[in-house]
Amino acid sequence: MRRHRVLSGVLSVLAMGAIAGVGCASTTDPNSTNPPPPPPPPPPPAAAQMTLQTTLDGPSAVAAPSIGTGGGIVTTTPANDFVAARVGDGLRTDAVGERVRFPQISGGVQNLENESGTLQFWYQPSYDHDIDQKYTIAGTGTWKANNATAGSIHFGKHESSNQFGIFLIFFDANSVRWEHNVAANAYGWNAGEWHLFRITWDVNVAAGERNLHLYIDGQELPLTGEVSRGPQTTLPERSNEFIYIGARDVTGNIIAGGVYDDVEIWNTAIPPS
């Protein structure tokens, strides 16, 4: 949960008070030749803070990330399957259920802000984007047996029956499902290539504005399907809910495949600069 909106409101009230004060002064001194004061500055934007950062260089980078609260868990076969990656080592996934996960919040420290945020990571898929296999890539909550966590986001790649598109699925506070897609002809990657993925979300955008955005290598991808627009709802972060890099579930039939590196999460939606 966040507090800066309260601060913004206070600043707005103070600014209005300042304007009112200026108006009173001018009416009591009609002969003043002083130039009118400049208008008050707008309230400052919410300060973006990184809430989680991990090098994925090994088990300790998951148990104790460089930014964020610890308690992350590695689930791979073989155990702790970290291999040479983009910078140092990274996490290798190549089967159902393989991943690292971090709690959304632990000990009062948030790794994630469900209201708005940015999830960025490097990913080297082990497969071409148009092979006939569904993959799970990352998510901000659990998804088991078609039962996803309210207030979570899920990202992956479809098989042929869904035209090899990307899926980016958002569940609001009431588990209403918004499934965004990227058509297969609007993106692409080959096995072994490193790409920079960025997902942003904000449930508090104005009416008509999109809540989610997806970028690969700094380029925004066109989202089609059930496009979610604001304002929307979500849930508070919970200590028993998790951010998944790799598989969103340890069972099921949707596999994770590829090497991940350098995961970063911020508490506001930040487009690539």
First-to-last C-alpha distance (Å) of the chain: 26
Sign of the Cα pseudo-torsion (237, 239, 240, 242, in order): positive
Give whichever of 96 and 184 is closer to Ca ion, judged by the CB atom.
Answer: 96
Q: Which residue is nearest to Ca ion (CB)?
A: 88
Do residues 119 and 267 make contact, with C-beta atoms less than 8 angstroms apart? no
Q: Report the run of H or E that residue 35 belongs to, with start and end.
A: none
Instruction: Show the site string, 195-234: x = touches Ca ion by CB under 5 A, - = not.
Output: ----------------------------------------
Neighbours of 127 (CB within 10 A): 17
Site string for Ca ion, 67-96 (x = CB under 5 A): ----------x---------xx-x---xx-
For Ca ion, give the closer residue by CB, 94 or 179. 94
Measure the CA–CA gap between 98 and 180, rounded to whole angstroms.
24
Sequence-ordered alpha helix ranges (H) in 40-107: 59-63
Stretch that binds Ca ion, among 39-47, 156-164, 190-198, 256-264 (CB under 5 A): 256-264
Nearer to Ca ion, 167 or 260 (CB): 260
The neighbouring-strand residues paired with 261 are 122
Among positions 51, 54, 57, 136, the unique one binding Ca ion when judged by CB under 5 A: 57
**Cβ proximity to Ca ion, 56 vs 137, nearer residue:** 56
55 binds Ca ion (CB under 5 A): yes
